[in-house]
Amino acid sequence: MREQTFSSPAKINLCLHVLGRRDDGYHELAMAMQRVNLCDQIWIRPGGMPGIRVQCAGVELAAGEENIAARAARLMLAEAQLDIAIEIEIEKQIPVAAGLGGGSSNAATVLLGLDQLLDLNLGKNRLMELGAQLGADVPFFIFSDPAWATGTGTRLEPLPPLPEVAYLLLNPKIAVSTAWAYQSLQLTRGGELANLPRFSVVTRDDLCAALHNDLERVVFRRYPLLAEIKQMLLAQGASGALMSGSGATLFGVYPDMAAAERAAAKVTKTTDWLVYSVQPI
């Protein structure tokens, strides 16, 4: 095993429907997700000390809590029946608690990286099964293609080819708890997947018309600045705008990177927000 570096991309939710709460406490979802080229960097190397060590500058865990990347490594070593030392170093670019799936992406990247470095060749389906034990979004990052996700988010189907666009991501440095957002959602009845319009888009206008996030109504009520940012994106020329996941990141849809970067320049002149011009991958 040798040291290797892996990119760990963010995701955005192009739509997020919450259909109801399940008996197991999780929520029944229907989502369209796409990866974007805002990436953490992860180094995986043989360790000198026994066990699994994860370094991630600037991210502090609560006492007794273990980084999801460390849990992913532990799961892979158990699957391979190996007892070796591994060091993982994460350089964060994706904001934490931002609705961009950074932690889930890190876990998926560790699973994929160790599968490669240890020559396990477990295959995508088995890696997705392992990922589902770590978090609902982890299998998506292993699946890698734009996906329609149902159930708790772990049943994945590829989306048809999406239009070529660029996105501007804005985060006003607010951390939103995913658990709080879902718990605050008032669900009057269980929705039906069959009644949802199929996420089938051809043009940029189709994409913008399909943007939807059920969590906006509870998150915007508590954090009205986020609703203002969405309207600002639209007023400044975005074809469409949406909150990703449970927030607090908003994204605007633009025809190309030049348009997204022009909009980004306006925002950075007047705010200290986190601003990223990105493309889908």
For residue 223, name the pLDDT band (cuts at 50, 70, 90): very high
Least confident of 32-41, 125-134, 136-145, 193-202: 193-202
Dist CA 11 CA 101 (whole Å): 6
- pLDDT tens digits, one per residue of 95-111: 988 999 999 999 999 99
Which pLDDT does position 191 carry in this prediction? 53
DSSP codes of every residue in 9-78? EEEEEEEEEEEEE-TTS-EEEEEEEEEEEEEEEEEEEE-SSSSEEEEETT--PPTT---HHHHHHHHHHH
For residue 246, name the pLDDT band (cuts at 50, 70, 90): very high
pLDDT at 276 over 50: yes
The greatest distance separating any two alpha carbons of the chain, rounded to the nearest whole angstrom, comes to: 56
Integer angstrom CA distances of residue 46 from 4, 64, 140: 10, 24, 27
- Give the mean pLDDT of 78-100: 94
pLDDT mean across residues, the chain: 91
* Active-site entry in 24, 40, 124, 137: 137
pLDDT at 63 over 50: no
Q: What are the chain's domains?
A: 4-158 (3.30.230.10), 166-278 (3.30.70.890)
Sign of the torsion angle spanned by Cα atoms 58, 64, 67, 73: positive
- Residue 40 Cα to chain centre, angstroms: 12
For residue 268, name the pLDDT band (cuts at 50, 70, 90): very high
- Give the mean pLDDT of 178-188: 81
- pLDDT tens digits, one per residue of 131-181: 999 999 999 999 989 999 999 889 999 999 999 999 999 999 998 988 899
Q: Are 169 and 38 in contact, with CB atoms under 8 Å apart? A: yes
Rounded percentage of the chain residues whose pLDDT exceeds 70:
93
For residue 35, name the pLDDT band (cuts at 50, 70, 90): very high
Which pLDDT does position 131 carry in this prediction? 97
- pLDDT tens digits, one per residue of 113-129: 999 999 999 999 999 99
Could you tell me if residue 58 is left (phi over 0), alpha (psi between -120 and 50 degrees) or otherwise beta?
A: left
Decide if 11 is catalytic. yes
Both structure tokens of 212: 């939807």
* Active-site entry in 11, 40, 115, 230: 11
- Does this model's pTM top 0.85? My answer is yes
Around Cβ 150, how many Cβ atoms within 10 Å? Answer: 18
